[in-house]
């Protein structure tokens, strides 16, 4: 049990103005593992004032000096990798081995990648008789989710600081321990006071205060589409820059030219891409589109793949799926599974009952539906759990139409025996990133979505530019 009784403002750990605390739960045992301050609008005011005061000095630093600070943070994360991985495994439920690689490996890499960009990125360029300058916004509010908690903070903080901005961070109150560790690392790295500030609390209070604050020049938010709309609405009153990384209902189009070996590989890989982090992944490929003639074959392969996803304690090496993050999330996912049954989808494996032998913790069975039609709830709503919908199609054109028939456009996948055909289909999918024949995630490539999956891009050069204003000086 850890009692975090302070927040981080202006280079120091200080008491929150709020008297309340928020409890953090171990998702596998349902035990309380930490408490954090239930922050207030007054805390946000202090943090923003500190960030505003620090901005002039921080933005004036040479970019190579800012890069040095980012690499110090990278080194701090490296030194505390195991501690952070175990914290996230308890908070979120990802098995600790995967958490080490993903939940800590990605944010570590992001700080290093961003620091490296500062060695080559041109903040000024000449276009005709103009000098085009990229400058920092000022104070950036960073509001992050619970599913990849440290990574989503890093995708905001690293490029924001690299561009010369100062930041006020609000982590998810569901998974905040990793953010406190990051603040300790930032402090030890010696960043000037006020450059990085951490305020904990709930979204309707702390999150909205950050979005609404007149001295916050930009807001970067990751979370649900519903919450993102609210952030944009509140921030619009000051006409500030808003970057949103929101929900998804991502299609995985498996084309009809694959032989049996290729089809088996595609379906099995698709199950894994749906179930990663117990399905608590915004880019999860939750809609698998297969040729109608091969539907029964897809069901058999998917069921066999799902059987390999052993559900259990995140600290058990045999576990491939941990719990969901909370009782609310567990009950929500089970509700969607029941809806799928009620609406007539074919339940291939899984269901609403608890996994065998797991009486405590927020566990859900890995679940696969088949004969799903595009109008069913489970084909349209973001479930955020280990639930896959297999949808049959009769032609390539129909598959593309079904894939694009969504309010979301965050990610997609396409498989074909012919790489060129796969790329042609990928170009027609309305999504911010498309995996072609199982192409691996690239942390330096731009990340973000079309439609109601968000605005703007994170990661790499595009992520750095997101945190820059553009000025042209005509000579």
110 CB-near residues (< 8 Å, 6+ apart): 151, 154, 155, 158, 443, 459
Q: Give me 88's structure tokens.
A: 């996230």
Catalytic residue among 173, 208, 274, 282: 282
468 is catalytic: no
Catalytic residue among 91, 173, 208, 245: 245
Q: How far apart are CA 267 and CA 141, in angstroms?
A: 40
275 conformational bin, left if phi > 0, alpha if psi -120 to 50, beta if neither: alpha
DSSP H helices, 308-441, are 327-342, 377-380, 396-404, 419-428
Helix (H, G, I), strand (E, B) or coil at 89: helix
DSSP H helices, 213-342, are 225-235, 260-275, 295-307, 327-342
Q: How far apart are CA 432 and CA 440, in angstroms?
A: 15
DSSP H helices, 166-224, are 177-189, 208-212
Query: Taking every pair of C-alpha atoms in the chain, what is the biggest distance, in angstroms?
Result: 73
Q: Give me 392's structure tokens.
A: 């049959």
Q: What's the DSSP call for residue 438?
A: T
Check: CB of residue 228 under 8 Å from CB of residue 221.
yes
* Count of alpha carbons within 13 angstroms of residue 155, beta-carbon side: 31
Check: CB of residue 136 under 8 Å from CB of residue 167.
no
Exposure letters 211-236 (e unless 16+ CB within 10 A, then b): bbbeebbbbbbbbbbebbebbbebbe
250 CB-near residues (< 8 Å, 6+ apart): 283, 284, 285, 286, 287, 408, 410, 411, 412, 413, 431
Give the residue from 56, 58, 41, 52 showing the smallest Cα distance to 217.
52
Helix (H, G, I), strand (E, B) or coil at 208: helix
Torsional sign, CA 40, 45, 48, 54: negative
Question: Which sequence positions are flagged as catalytic?
Answer: 245, 282
């Amino acid at each position: 049990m850890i009692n975090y009784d302070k927040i981080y403002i202006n280079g120091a750990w200080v008491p929150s103005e709020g008297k309340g605390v928020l409890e953090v739960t171990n998702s596998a045992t349902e035990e309380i593992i930490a408490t954090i301050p239930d922050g207030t609008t007054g805390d946000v005011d202090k943090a923003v004032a500190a960030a505003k005061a620090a901005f002039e000095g921080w933005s004036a630093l040479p970019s190579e000096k800012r890069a040095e600070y980012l690499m110090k943070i990278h080194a701090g994360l490296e030194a505390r990798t195991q501690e952070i991985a175990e914290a996230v495994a308890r908070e979120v439920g990802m098995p600790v081995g995967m958490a080490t690689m993903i939940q800590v490996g990605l944010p570590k890499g992001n700080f290093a990648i961003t620091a490296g960009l500062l060695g080559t990125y041109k903040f000024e360029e000449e276009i005709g008789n103009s000098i085009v300058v990229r400058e920092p916004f000022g104070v950036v509010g960073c509001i992050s989710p619970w599913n990849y908690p440290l990574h989503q903070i890093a995708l905001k903080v690293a490029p924001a600081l690299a561009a010369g901005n100062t930041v006020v961070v609000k982590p998810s109150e569901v998974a905040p321990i990793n953010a406190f560790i990051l603040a300790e690392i930032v402090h030890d790295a010696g960043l000037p006071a006020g450059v990085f500030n951490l305020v904990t609390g709930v979204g309707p209070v702390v999150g909205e205060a950050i979005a609404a604050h007149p001295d916050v020049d930009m807001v970067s938010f990751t979370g649900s589409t519903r919450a993102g709309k609210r952030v944009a609405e509140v921030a619009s009153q000051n006409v500030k820059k808003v970057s949103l990384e929101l929900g998804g209902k991502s299609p995985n189009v498996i084309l009809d030219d694959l032989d049996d070996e290729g089809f088996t590989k595609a379906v099995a890989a698709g199950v894994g891409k749906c179930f990663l982090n117990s399905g608590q992944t915004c880019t999860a490929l939750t809609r698998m589109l297969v040729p109608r003639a091969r539907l029964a074959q897809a069901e058999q392969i998917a069921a066999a793949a799902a059987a390999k996803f052993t559900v259990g304690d995140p600290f058990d090496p045999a576990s491939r799926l941990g719990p969901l993050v909370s009782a609310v999330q567990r009950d929500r996912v089970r509700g969607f599974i029941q809806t799928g049954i009620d609406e007539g989808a074919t339940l291939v494996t899984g269901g609403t009952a608890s996994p065998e032998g797991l009486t405590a913790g927020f566990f859900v069975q890995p679940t696969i539906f088949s004969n799903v039609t595009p109008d069913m709830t489970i084909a349209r709503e973001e479930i955020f759990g280990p639930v896959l919908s297999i949808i049959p199609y009769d032609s390539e054109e129909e598959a593309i139409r079904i894939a694009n028939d969504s309010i979301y456009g965050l990610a997609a996948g396409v498989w074909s025996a012919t790489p060129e055909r796969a790329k042609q289909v990928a170009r027609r999918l309305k999504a911010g990133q498309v995996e072609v024949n199982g192409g691996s995630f690239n942390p330096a490539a731009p990340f973000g979505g079309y439609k109601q999956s968000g605005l703007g891009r994170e990661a790499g050069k595009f992520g750095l530019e997101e945190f820059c204003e553009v000025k042209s000086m005509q000579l």
